[in-house]
Amino acid sequence: MIRASNLTKLYGGRRALGPISFEIADGETVGFLGLNGAGKTTALRLLACDLRPSAGTIDVGGVDAIAEPHEVRKRIGFLPENPPLYMDMNVAEYLAYAGELRSMSKAEVKKRLPEVLEITDLKDVAYDVIGTLSHGYRQRVGVGQAIIHQPKFLILDEPTRGLDPVQIVEMRNLIHDLKQNHTVLISSHILTEISQTCDRLLVLGKGHMLAEGSEAELAGRKDDIQQITVLVRTGKAGDPYRGDLKDKAEGDKDKSDKENVDDSGKDAIKKLLAGVDGVSSVADLYTSPEGMSFSLATTKDCRAEVSRVIIDAKLDLLQLAFARSELESTFIRLVGGGTNAGN
């Protein structure tokens, strides 16, 4: 388990991080989310013992990272934003060097090296000079150095940064494999990456922890905006439903042409839906021969109430879809909140 308490980092007089506290259980895959300057990289560098905190404590697997950084470094594999590579070394030589630096004996390195080359799919370029490799391969070499000593905890800072779509998929698969044997911390700007890879998210903004939890937990918070989409059949001229709606619409008494009737029906339905408890706004999406579609922003799951109101109004409810906020909107909302909180 990794436990950070009141972790704080000051660069000169500027507060870059904290105080923040969090825990990461063994076997978890946790994502760090935040805008540039949110403190993600600083937090990861502190956990990897690359930097020392200005205040607070870090406990990694029962070892105090400040008192015994060397012990913690043996347990952690770190892939920084820019992989720490030596361009003049070949891949195998570099990985062996990284392993030996992490207290592995030559025999252990010799045994482990083929496994790492296999996991990272670097066998074909094992004796190529790193400086001649593509960005994707270099990123893989970076992962290789992070796992060569079989650390329990793996910290990956923007592992898909600068990769093309194919390389991103490959890296995602690699991370998925690594999850089987490591507790993984990932920071990324690519939200789908985090969404697909992580069990839990830590959202940072201006150095502060804004929220933590699973994606569903973050998206389904009580004050979160959710979306209900409905498709309603309004009926033709002379249809009793249409008449009900016409009566409910304001200022439509004198209108007789079809377009105006449709508009008045649309307004009536919008007004009807807006009156449901929990609905904060209603927007019409489209009108088709089948009916009218509306999007409802809600602050709670009010599907039952919405469907009841529509049916009570003698309308045909053809479709009702419910969606929690996408990670992206959750992220923007949280980070936006963090900006205010940070100030």
Partner 1 sequence: MRAIKIIFRREFSSYLRSPFSWVLAALFLLVNGLLFQGFALGSGGGGTLSAFVLERFFYAASGASIFAGMLLSFRLISEERQNHSMVLLNTSPVKDSEIIVGKYLASLAFLALLLALSLYIPLMLKAGNKITFSQIMVGYLGLLLVGSVSIAIGLFSSALTRYQLVAGVIAAVLLLIMVFLFQFSKQLEGAPREVFAELDMWWIHFQQGFMRGVLNLKDVVYYVAVTYFFLLLSVKTLEAKRWQ
d(CA 295, CA 286): 10
Instruction: List C-alpha distances in Å: 180 to 28, 120, 176, 192.
Output: 10, 14, 7, 20
Which residue number, 103 or 192, has a Cβ lying nearer to partner 1? 103
* From 43-51, 201-209, 220-228, 288-296, span contacting partner 1 (CB under 8 A): 43-51
- The most distant pair of C-alpha atoms in the chain lies apart, rounded to whole Å, by 92
Binding mask 141-180 for partner 1 (x = CB under 8 A): ----x-----------------------------------
Which one-letter amino acid corresponds to residue 234?
Answer: T
Cβ neighbors of 33 (< 8 A, separation 6 or more) are 40, 187, 188, 191, 194, 201, 202, 203, 204, 331
Residue 135 near partner 1 by CB under 8 A: no
Tell me which of 28, 59, 100, 301 binds partner 1, using CB under 8 A: 100
Residue 50 near partner 1 by CB under 8 A: yes
Least distance to partner 1, CB of residue 123, Å: 22
**Conformation bin of residue 235: beta by default, left when phi > 0, alpha when psi is -120 to 50:** left
Least distance to partner 1, CB of residue 48, Å: 5
Residue 84 near partner 1 by CB under 8 A: yes
Stated as kind and residue range, the H or E segment containing 322 is strand 316-323
Residue 74 near partner 1 by CB under 8 A: yes
How many residues bind to partner 1 according to rule CB under 8 A? 31
H-helix segments, 148-279: 165-179, 191-197, 215-219, 240-248, 258-274
* From 67-75, 185-193, 218-226, 271-279, span contacting partner 1 (CB under 8 A): 67-75
| Structure-token pair, residue 17 | 């991080």
Least distance to partner 1, CB of residue 37, Å: 17
Residues of this chain that bind partner 1 (CB under 8 A): 11-12, 48-52, 54, 69-71, 73-74, 76, 78, 80, 82-89, 97-98, 100-103, 145
